[in-house]
A and B are shown apart, each in its own frame.
Chain A
């Protein structure tokens, strides 16, 4: 009896020993699963109203949450030197008062329902969003509609909101990374609306009146210039009921909203320094005007961006992992209706500012002149192919995708063709698209840092003209090489 038990023990001991001798040098190979299987795409449906309003929705009843987003297809890119910031001001004023409720009453009502409301502008549109529990949908949506259709734009609240925006603009100057991006955009886009940030500048915001905001609202808030999005625990019948109640009588009107066309000029590489005495880091931005969202190279550039600028891309591996110059280095293309910027960026230790610029240029030139290796290419491409599932998890994420479909007029089946489009990108495409869309001789390099410590090193790089700017990109001094 004892022996049997011992034998059993022995047996288990052997089992365990075999088990613990797992060969850890063997890298597990993932089972092959087609990207199509991995990606459970949300089913996008569409309703079109007589008044021109387009409705896009995805039903997702996993949690009792409903998200809604109204997209107005006019944003800050129609602004002029005189009224930069008006789209943003209009968006900010929507929940500051309606025909029946004050600013504080609106806030209370939304908070009491546990709902979240936000309203913001981008270059390409205004986005008015609501998130609510299903059980409060009717009440929350009624408030939401009142905000959209009956804003009263009270003068007092307008002055307060303006003051808040102006104070924010002042505060931004504290942050080196923000200053670097703002100066970079100004240098790239000169007088075009993309030269300004969406919230405008101190002069323009000061000069905008409540009448201007009312006019903006009157001119651009129209069903035929809008898309309404629903995502979450809501079905078609429920959507139709809400829409019939609140959106059916919205009257169509003619809307003109054209952004001035961008004249793309390629200047030769120059360097701009904004002095920040005693800064422990230099904030670097390098790039040029690039492509619009409508570019035919979109999918190729997506893979290129992954190789060059992602969080384990070449710039990151070089400047952070190999050299230890920075906490992170990245590059990306900003897609808008017109040509957005390509920008590579990092905050680097002051004493390696010039060396960091050298590495940035090395990596931009490398992808521009050399084919990527097979191993790198496969890894980065798979990464782009397979990252989609986790980007369709929350209602908010899905709503954002629907709004990009609306804003850039993409087909409803856009994501089902995504896989095919990425799969067809080749190694040669990366080199070709780099040659076509990157311009290593036409870079604007902006650095916010301690001039007294970085200027000499930067001069030695012989990169072109060096100019010293203030935080508004006004040139203070022109230093010839």
Chain B
């Protein structure tokens, strides 16, 4: 690239650690809005990425799915932005936009040609400050229908689609965050009222509960003036009480079975583990790679490659803000019993518990993790992009540039730690086991 590169990445192999330095500048407006600017003029686009620190973990039983329904309403117009105008400006510019709602945060992003930066800040600030006049009962009803369709499409009419609801319901007691999924229940969606919309907006969609990352081909000084102009006068909201982690553990193994319109049985094994960045989060992640990442990983090799009794297997550590869980999911080949799959999974787990893992295995995992950190720096905007990662680190740790630190904690994990976390967390007497089997093949469930 011949143009001036302000987007900097340095990678050194002098030590065991790689250095990733992403340029950014962070400041806060008096109303509490956190602003992060990231300049990269190699492509003539701008990414505007806003995270609100609210999601399904803030919901109450009886109003599940609300944070996500609200996310839909954010695209339906605000006081000065008529319905449809958001898409008209962003999509009409050749740009792209989307939003998503998780357990802990809701994010919105758009990518536009650089000359549309001011337009997007106008749109984003209007819905942050003045959403309610745009929301009518009709709009709420319509988006409720759209969300219900999303639930049908992504869960109800999907093979194995109801598995996640069952698992989270089994892992977390009723009323505790993460007990329900962000999509919520059809009943609760029906119950959501205009009054709920107003309350939710006033409390959570305030500048002091948001952070905005603006990245790409920007002029830093001009961008600061735009931010002040559009966001500076939005009043600060009330202080927000964040959900706190609850001491949750399983005292015994719980087994469930669901019949579904599927051809192949699938086994889900879940444990409580640790939240994002907690002491053992990185070691658990490496364990998951050693179990299922690549053809020569332990579970893949045994179940899929050698015995050929499974079609696929994946293990993962899922650390959320309040707590985390570790999961293993395996799809059996036709008519293979899930008890057999479970037995072999535990034979492999026992080997790790007893004999640990090899130096080669942990190096392989670390090399892949390091490479993936670099690969995912390629996109400026969108889910998982650079601006999205800056916002992730900022929202949860108050430090947008935590790339290096994040990578380093994986590089520091030792073989012994991986063995230890397996012994500590992967307990077959305290887990959630879900079997999804083809209709009328209950005998294939894991017993």
User: Which residues of A are at the interface with B, using a C-beta cutoff of 8 A?
Assistant: 19-20, 22, 24-25, 27-28, 30-33, 37-40, 60-65, 103-104, 107-108, 111-116, 131-133, 135, 160, 163-164, 167-168, 170-171, 173-176, 276, 279-281, 310-312, 317, 320-321, 324-327, 347-349, 379-380, 382-390, 392-396
Known contacts A22-B230, A389-B43; decide if A176 and B88 are in contact (CB<8 Å).
no
| A170–B264 CB distance below 8 A | yes
The residue on A at minimum CB distance from B10 is A64
Offer 27 A-B interface pairs, CB within 8 angstroms, sorted by A: A19-B232, A22-B230, A24-B122, A24-B125, A30-B116, A37-B44, A40-B42, A40-B44, A64-B11, A111-B294, A112-B363, A113-B367, A160-B308, A164-B311, A171-B262, A171-B264, A174-B262, A279-B157, A280-B152, A281-B152, A312-B88, A321-B142, A321-B146, A388-B94, A390-B45, A392-B43, A393-B43
By Cβ-Cβ distance, the 7 closest A-B pairs, closest first, are A386-B94, A114-B371, A324-B145, A174-B159, A387-B94, A107-B295, A20-B233
Q: Which of B93, B126, B262, B378 contacts A24 (CB 8 A)?
A: B126
User: Which residues of B are at the interface with A, using a C-beta cutoff of 8 A?
Assistant: 1, 3, 5, 7, 9, 11, 13, 42-45, 79-80, 84, 87-89, 91-96, 111, 113-116, 118-119, 122, 125-126, 130, 141-146, 148-150, 152-154, 156-159, 228-230, 232-233, 261-264, 293-296, 301, 304-305, 308, 311, 331, 333-334, 360, 363-364, 367-372, 374-375, 377-381
The residue on A at minimum CB distance from B98 is A311
Instruction: Enumerate chain A residues within 8 angstroms of B91, measured Cβ to Cβ.
Output: 310-312, 383
Instruction: Enumerate chain A residues within 8 angstroms of B9, measured Cβ to Cβ.
Output: 62-64
Q: Which of B146, B363, B379 contacts A394 (CB 8 A)?
A: B379
- Min CB gap A273→B, angstroms: 16
CA distance A349 to B44 in the complex (A): 41
The residue on A at minimum CB distance from B372 is A114
| B334–A167 CB distance below 8 A | yes
| B88–A327 CB distance below 8 A | no
| B368–A65 CB distance below 8 A | no
The residue on A at minimum CB distance from B111 is A390
Instruction: Enumerate chain B residues within 8 angstroms of A163, measured Cβ to Cβ.
Output: 308, 333
| B311–A321 CB distance below 8 A | no
The residue on A at minimum CB distance from B7 is A62
Known contacts A107-B296, A167-B334; decide if A62 and B5 are in contact (CB<8 Å).
yes
Q: Which of A115, A280, A311, A395 contacts B371 (CB 8 A)?
A: A115
Instruction: Enumerate chain B residues within 8 angstroms of A62, measured Cβ to Cβ.
Output: 1, 5, 7, 9, 42
Q: Which of B149, B230, B331, B378 contacts A65 (CB 8 A)?
A: B378
- Min CB gap B351→A, angstroms: 17
| B94–A383 CB distance below 8 A | yes
Instruction: Enumerate chain B residues within 8 angstroms of A170, measured Cβ to Cβ.
Output: 263-264, 334
Instruction: Enumerate chain B residues within 8 angstroms of A176, measured Cβ to Cβ.
Output: 157
CA distance A168 to B334 in the complex (A): 11
Indicate the member of A33, A167, A276, A395 with the most B CB atoms within 10 Å: A167
The residue on B at minimum CB distance from A43 is B2
Q: Which of B149, B364, B370 contacts A281 (CB 8 A)?
A: B149
Known contacts A61-B1, A167-B311, A390-B95; decide if A108 and B364 are in contact (CB<8 Å).
yes
Given contacts A64-B9, A111-B296, 19 further A-B contacts (CB under 8 A): A62-B1, A104-B305, A107-B295, A133-B371, A160-B305, A174-B263, A175-B158, A280-B157, A281-B156, A312-B92, A320-B149, A324-B146, A382-B94, A384-B94, A385-B94, A390-B94, A390-B96, A393-B45, A394-B379
Q: Which of B43, B159, B230 contacts A390 (CB 8 A)?
A: B43
| B13–A325 CB distance below 8 A | no
| A40–B3 CB distance below 8 A | yes
CA distance A276 to B152 in the complex (A): 14
Q: Which of A27, A103, A115, A320 contacts B122 (CB 8 A)?
A: A27
CA distance A19 to B311 in the complex (A): 62
The residue on A at minimum CB distance from B158 is A175
| A28–B119 CB distance below 8 A | yes
CA distance A281 to B146 in the complex (A): 13
The residue on A at minimum CB distance from B47 is A390
CA distance A62 to B42 in the complex (A): 8
Indicate the member of B13, B79, B116 with the most A CB atoms within 10 Å: B116
| B152–A347 CB distance below 8 A | yes
Instruction: Enumerate chain B residues within 8 angstroms of A103, measured Cβ to Cβ.
Output: 295, 305
The residue on A at minimum CB distance from B381 is A390
Q: Which of B119, B142, B233, B369 contacts A324 (CB 8 A)?
A: B142
- Min CB gap A160→B, angstroms: 6
| A324–B264 CB distance below 8 A | no
Q: Which of A24, A65, A108, A281 contacts B130 (CB 8 A)?
A: A24
- Min CB gap B93→A, angstroms: 6
Instruction: Enumerate chain A residues within 8 angstroms of B130, measured Cβ to Cβ.
Output: 24
- Min CB gap B420→A, angstroms: 24
